[in-house]
Structure 1
Amino acid sequence: MANQSPSVKPLAPYNISSSRYNTPEHEIETISDHRRSRLGTFTLCCGCITALLLISIVIILILGFTVYNVNEPVITMNRIINLDKGTNITKDNPINVTLIADISMKNTNYFIYRSKGSTTTLYYDGIGIGEGFTPPGKAKARRTVRFNVTLKIVTSKLINVPGFSNDTVDQSLNLSTLTRIDGNVKILGMFKKKVVVELNCTAAYNITSGLIHGYNCLSNYDNVL
């Protein structure tokens, strides 16, 4: 009888997971770690979003009080020129006199100022004796525009003002002008803000020489949404 080798049984595979890794306590601990990791990521994202929102709000506030804030345009009466210097205004010589008002306006805003036109009225002793207009225009951001307004002194109105005869003795008339410019500034091309500028000036008009001097001006500004 042939020799029979003893039967060899294969070794049982080594189970790498011991009993302690399969306990419910370990599963709970693993789930808690995942939750803590996800909570940390969520907290970090919320913190970043909050920081970005705060930075955006601060930037908007700064721009709102600086760049996007509508400022007062600066308007100046440079001079008033008499085109009829040789004309002597008297009751016996009621000839109209033409004046040119040389005006500058600086747009102090960071956006274009669009004017609907301007009106300049000439007064003597509170009574209107002449008026002039300018067409619509625009002033670029942070730029100065210069324009002329033609004023016609209606002598028939001037000589009928009480006190004219007394002032002709001194050869000087105290005149005043009111210039009004209506316009608007459009912020970011979306938000339109109405801006109105007025300039009140007084000056002395020498009847003999026809020269105008002694300018004294005061501006007034208003804006409405």
Structure 2
Amino acid sequence: MKGEGRRNSKCLAYVAAFIVFQTIIILVFALTVMKIKSPKVRFGTVAVENFTPSTTNSSSFDMRLVAQVAIKNTNFGHFKYDSSNVTILYGGMPVGEAVIAEGRTKARKTQRFDVSVDITSDKLSGNTNLTNDIGSGYLKLSSQAKLSGKVQLMKVIKKKKSGEMSCTMTVNLAQRAIQDLKCN
């Protein structure tokens, strides 16, 4: 009888240890795998494809930028996003816009694709800063985009998330190249 009580207490201790162990495993799983983060959206590279200064007006131009958009999904589930727009701005005013088609980024992967943006200064007539910047040979631009969608874990959990991009860059007009590309 005395040994039977000891056996029961050992069994109870094993069950308690197993429950504590399982709780720790579930807690670690919940804090790492199940934590859903917003994807990161950035410009990887940007190239000036065409640049045409106006022959009649020194403060006018047209150009095409080809930008590599990178969507980094750090989640353990895929990120499916709706179509969106990327906007290029000069001095806070939009000068170009392109569509980012809807798509899907796999779990723990970075998806890259190119977007062409046609930029024109037609909407900036009378901007004295534009004339000065074109004269200096350097044009400061910024970009904005927001990708909204859902992260899906194990085909069960779906959570709305969005990735936002805000980049600044300087266009060297003489070399037709992008300098100082910085994304937040």
| Structure-2 residue corresponding to 1:83 | 49
Residues 1:92 and 2:92 aligned together: no
3-state SS, counterpart of residue 77 of structure 2: coil
- Using a 3 Å threshold, how does the CA distance of structure 1 residues 90 and 80 change in structure 2: closer, same or farther? farther
Matches for 1:90-169 after TM superposition, within 5 Å: 92=57, 96-169=62-135
1 or 2, which has the higher strand percentage?
Answer: 2
Q: Counterpart of 1:138 in structure 2: which amino acid?
A: R
Q: Counterpart of 2:53 in structure 1: which amino acid?
A: N
Residues 1:65 and 2:31 aligned together: yes
| Structure-1 residue corresponding to 2:158 | 192
Is this contact kept in 1: 2:100–2:115, CA < 8 A?
yes
Q: Normalising to structure 1: TM-score of the pair?
A: 0.69
- TM superposition shift of 1:43: 6.5
Deviations 1:52-100 (A, max 9, x none): 4333321111011112112343433222122213x12466385642221
Between the two structures, name the one with larger relative contact order (CA 8 Å, sep ≥ 6).
2
Percent identical: 27
Deviations 1:90-111 (A, max 9, x none): 6638564222111212221221
- TM superposition shift of 1:146: 0.4
| Structure-1 residue corresponding to 2:178 | 212
- Using a 3 Å threshold, how does the CA distance of structure 1 residues 164 and 47 change in structure 2: closer, same or farther? same
Deviations 1:99-127 (A, max 9, x none): 21112122212211112234211010111
Count of equivalent residues: 182
**Larger gyration radius, structure 1 or structure 2:** 1
Is this contact kept in 2: 1:110–1:141, CA < 8 A?
yes
- TM superposition shift of 1:46: 5.8
Deviations 1:19-61 (A, max 9, x none): xxxxxxxxxxxxxx7xx96x88876776555444333321111
Q: Counterpart of 2:73 in structure 1: which amino acid?
A: N
Which residue among 182, 195, 206 is the counterpart of 2:148?
182
- TM superposition shift of 1:189: 1.7
- TM superposition shift of 1:175: 0.5
